[in-house]
Structure 1
Amino acid sequence: MSDDHVYLSLAEASHGPEGEERWAYGTGFADPLLGVDTTVPAGLDGADLAAYCLMLGDDALVLAQRLIEWCTRAPELEEEVALSNIGLDLLGQARLLLTRAGQADGSGRDEDAFAYWREDHEFRNVRLVETPNGDFAYSIARLLVFSAARHALYERLAAGFGDPVVAAVAARGVKELAYHREYATAWLLRLGGGTPYSSARMQAGLEAVWPLMDELFTAHAVELRLGVDPAELREPVLAELAAAVTEAGLTVPEALPLARIGGRAGRDGVHTEHLSPLLAELQVVARAHPGATW
């Protein structure tokens, strides 16, 4: 592993000697919850914990669905495989988090119940992840922003979140997100330092994604009650992103806040018009054959 750019050195510490930790859900088949007590800790509000798991799980589920859309459409076969595997990593995180939501709220609902049988206003993902893929540069910009922010958050959750299940999912997710961030940064540098056209497209992708970043760092009341404040991550994550963008020879966009409707956004079930058709595609088979197994 070389130190050619800023994120390669950041990611190196998260890789094993043969890089096997990159694909914790995709190929490792290790259970991140092995030996973890799944009892909701005393003093932790189950409803708040469930709501937080839905926030994190829905982010991962919806972005996984978007990334899978690149299969057969990416610029190169290798990128189809890479983006599909990143999507599978996120899907693995989503499955564990949605299952935990059903445990925490006492409903006993499983991952399928949450994924296939909720309406769009019941989803709690940030609006960044539900936007259409656009061109390849836009998707790379979105993946870069999301993975950088989520990596920083998972580091904190793994180090001391009150629920051992969420902490264990975060600990495994940190290793995956380190690679997601590295992958996106490699393409940022490749496109930014390529032709004038590729540089312009990458800059346009950053400009379109940057305003959508705000929700990732806007604390929800549920998060604050659980002792999590994503606003504390804003400056260090923005500094990391700015370093990568500058190294790519691009301009760091102005961090304009995303317009919020009545002070509410994705965490409160207020979404763009793009989420409904995405969920329709995700849920169509399950709803056409209720109760079926496969």
Structure 2
Amino acid sequence: MSFDDAYDALTDHDDDSRWAYGTGFADPLAGVPTAAPDGVPPADLAAYCVMLGDDALVMSHRLQQWVTRAPELEDEMALANIGLDLLGQARLLLSRAAEVEGTGNDEDSLAYLRDPAGFRNVRLAERLDEDFAHLIARLLVFATWRLALLDRLTASRDPILAAIGAKGVKEVAYHREYAAGWVVRLGDGTDVSHTRMRAAADAVEPLAGELFAPHELELRLAAAGVAVDPSTLRAEYDSVLREVHRVATLPAPPELQAVAGGSGRDGIHGPELTAILTEMQELPRAVPGGVW
């Protein structure tokens, strides 16, 4: 099937309901021209798509772990849908990476057959949440940053990244709204909820600095008009976080700091990512290429 442009292709939906490894999902980029833009090394573009795809994949997995644990059924549904939105973004980005890379990988092999050191997600995405307040604080930081990034990505010279950005903006705007609503509800609620929301915000903020520290690959591709320099997202992020904290009667967010222990963009992760991948990759590794 072919489409007039990349956005139409990414927003087309079929009725494939097979949700298991190796069951033959339709290629989400089928019919879309996938060559790298002129002057852009395919390896660089593939690596950038892996970065953004891993962010979405790992965060999606964390969100799905909250199904049956959220305060209300409505929130379980909301978190499941947010996780599915991010999983869809991960599919598109990892498919794009595999196509451009041209080494025989596909979205499944990139998701299921890499070790932790091969993942390039920011460490915020893999963080284990102590309670619902910690999840909400982390989701607000993640969604505020990702929404600003995707919005700027709509101007990418790469038509696939631009289309992914346009599709993702509509999804992540809701993610940010949902998280902000809960931060306000808890922060401006009872003494207990305020105390727990404040503790959660304080715990998550140290991980936010990594989001705005440009990797050399991001700077190189941003100069080529393909990627986004994350340092340019700070003003929007700060403005949103300050306003949400104000309405939630929480202290203003502190100055961002570098994440101790290295960047996830360079494959530096903690034991939390290992635990995630052990769970997520168990079946594909036990039954390589399995189809059912």
Q: Give the TM-score taking structure 2 as reference length.
A: 0.87
What do the CA deviations read for 1:206-250 (whole angstroms, capped 9, x no partner)? 101111011111100111111131101112211111111111111
Question: Which sections of structure 2, spanning at least 5 residues, go unmatched?
Answer: 1-9, 15-26, 223-227
- How many residue pairs were aligned? 266
- Contact kept in structure 1, 2:241 and 2:253, CA below 8 Å: no
Instruction: Tell me the distance in 2 between the aligned counterparts of 1:42 and 1:213.
Output: 33
Secondary structure of the residue aligned to 1:204 is: helix
Q: Does 1:196 align with 2:191?
A: yes
Aligned residue number for residue 12 of structure 1: none
Q: Does 1:67 align with 2:51?
A: no
- Contact kept in structure 2, 1:32 and 1:172, CA below 8 Å: no
- Contact kept in structure 2, 1:36 and 1:164, CA below 8 Å: no
Instruction: Tell me the distance in 1 between the aligned counterparts of 2:272 and 2:156.
Output: 32
Aligned-residue Cα RMSD (Å) equals 1.8
- Contact kept in structure 2, 1:49 and 1:101, CA below 8 Å: yes
Q: Which amino acid aligns with 2:255?
A: A
Larger CA deviation: 36-45 vs 129-138: 36-45
Question: Which sections of structure 1, spanning at least 5 residues, go unmatched?
Answer: 1-23
Q: Does 1:145 align with 2:146?
A: no
Instruction: Tell me the distance in 2 between the aligned counterparts of 1:108 and 1:131.
Output: 31
- Which aligned pairs between 1:187-266 and structure 2 lie closer than 5 A? 187-227=182-222, 228-261=228-261, 264-266=262-264
Aligned residue number for residue 157 of structure 2: 162
Secondary structure of the residue aligned to 2:271 is: coil
Instruction: Tell me the distance in 1 between the aligned counterparts of 2:206 and 2:51.
Output: 20
Instruction: Tell me the distance in 2 between the aligned counterparts of 1:29 and 1:202.
Output: 38
- Contact kept in structure 1, 2:37 and 2:157, CA below 8 Å: yes
Identity of aligned residues (%): 54
Q: Give the TM-score taking structure 1 as reference length.
A: 0.86
- Which aligned pairs between 1:266-285 and structure 2 lie closer than 5 A? 266-285=264-283
Q: Which amino acid aligns with 2:253?
A: P
Q: Does 1:55 align with 2:58?
A: no
Deviation (angstroms), 1:258:
3.5
- Contact kept in structure 1, 2:245 and 2:253, CA below 8 Å: no
Q: Which amino acid aligns with 1:51?
A: A
What do the CA deviations read for 1:129-180 (whole angstroms, capped 9, x no partner)? 101022000100110011011100111111x212111111111000000000
- Contact kept in structure 1, 2:28 and 2:92, CA below 8 Å: no
Larger CA deviation: 278-287 vs 32-41: 32-41
